[in-house]
Amino acid sequence: MNRFWGFFYGLLASASYGLIPLFTLPLTEHGLRVDSILFYRFSFACLAIGLILIIRREALGARLVDIGKLFLLGMFYSMSAIFYFLSFAHMTSGIATTIHFLYPVFVAIIMMTFFREKKSPITLTAIVLAISGVALLSFGGQNQHMSLLGLILVLISSIANATYIVGMSRAGIRNLSGLKTTFFLLLFGSFFTLIFCLSRGSFQPVKETSTLLQLLLLALITGALSNMCLIESIKRIGSTLSSIIGALEPVTAVCVGVLVFHEPFTSRIGSGIFLILSAVLLIILSAQIATLFQRKH
């Protein structure tokens, strides 16, 4: 039963994160800029997590060294979100989410390049599959569904997310609970996105109740709920299986794009998505196989 709930929370986490375009695209169509949307998403989600911590009577204090590490990690976390949201203006949301989901491949590349992690045929095969998938999505067919700028934006987003994940695993933050860690990441995400807004002179106050409601749903569902469910899933079934279930994120985004926003879906797009998801699953499964091999020996 514990594993059942682990899979349930994992599915809910990935599906809720994949709903980001469902709330973001209508907001941009109504004139709200991406940077302002992100600020409200981080802020409202941070308030929600903070309220949960207060209800659970969990102190918000942390060591200064951990705060410093989370501040730096929060920069990459918010940077990933900023470039991911910006890419929506240059490609369909389903393709953007699929390419963003390349981050496990970039994690493997970073680990091999900077931390001398052993290169394996499976990892190299996954990298080839990932590059092939991106090429199919980017440069083929008569109808262009994305621009070069869009590709660059979402690749930066994916690399920033991979850097954040590697940093989180190497930072040695062991004194904070998952919820408290999430609270500080969202808090610093709010700070960095506010700075981004102010630097561009693009901060927009919320004037309509309908807009406020959409922002609250975006923050609660794709921010607070997604993070909390991911934490609960990892507790029950581990990070590897939770990551595999995360493949539902781009699938959800593609379905939302096609069914709600009538975005195009061709055999070429389907093939590109399949190659990218296959690459990500290979990376995750190869890590699980390596872990099992080390335990046996």
Q: Collapsing DSSP states into helix, strand and coil, what is residue 91?
A: strand
Q: Which of 21, 77, 38, 7 is nearest to 252 (CA)?
A: 21
Residues contacting 121, CB < 8 A, separation 6+: none
Task: Provide the 8-state DSSP code for 117.
Answer: P
CA torsion, points 126, 132, 138, 139, in degrees to nearest 10?
170
Distance CA 92, CA 242 (A): 26
How many angstroms separate the first and last alpha carbons of the chain? 31
Look at residue 288 in the predicted model and tell me its pLDDT. Answer: 63
Look at residue 142 in the predicted model and tell me its pLDDT. Answer: 46
Distance CA 3, CA 50 (A): 28
- 39: its two tokens: 């600020």
pLDDT in tens, 66-101: 999 999 999 999 999 999 999 988 988 888 888 898
Tally of CB atoms within 10 A around 216: 18
Burial 131-156 (b: 16+ CB within 10 A, else e): ebbbebbbeeeeeebbeeebbebbbb
Distance CA 181, CA 31 (A): 33
* Cα 240 to chain centroid, rounded: 16
Q: Which of 228, 66, 116, 96 is nearest to 161 (CA)?
A: 96
- 270: its two tokens: 């389907």
Q: Which of 96, 98, 111, 112 is nearest to 170 (CA)?
A: 111
Look at residue 263 in the predicted model and tell me its pLDDT. Answer: 83
Low-confidence ranges of the chain (pLDDT < 50): 142-143
Look at residue 194 in the predicted model and tell me its pLDDT. Answer: 94
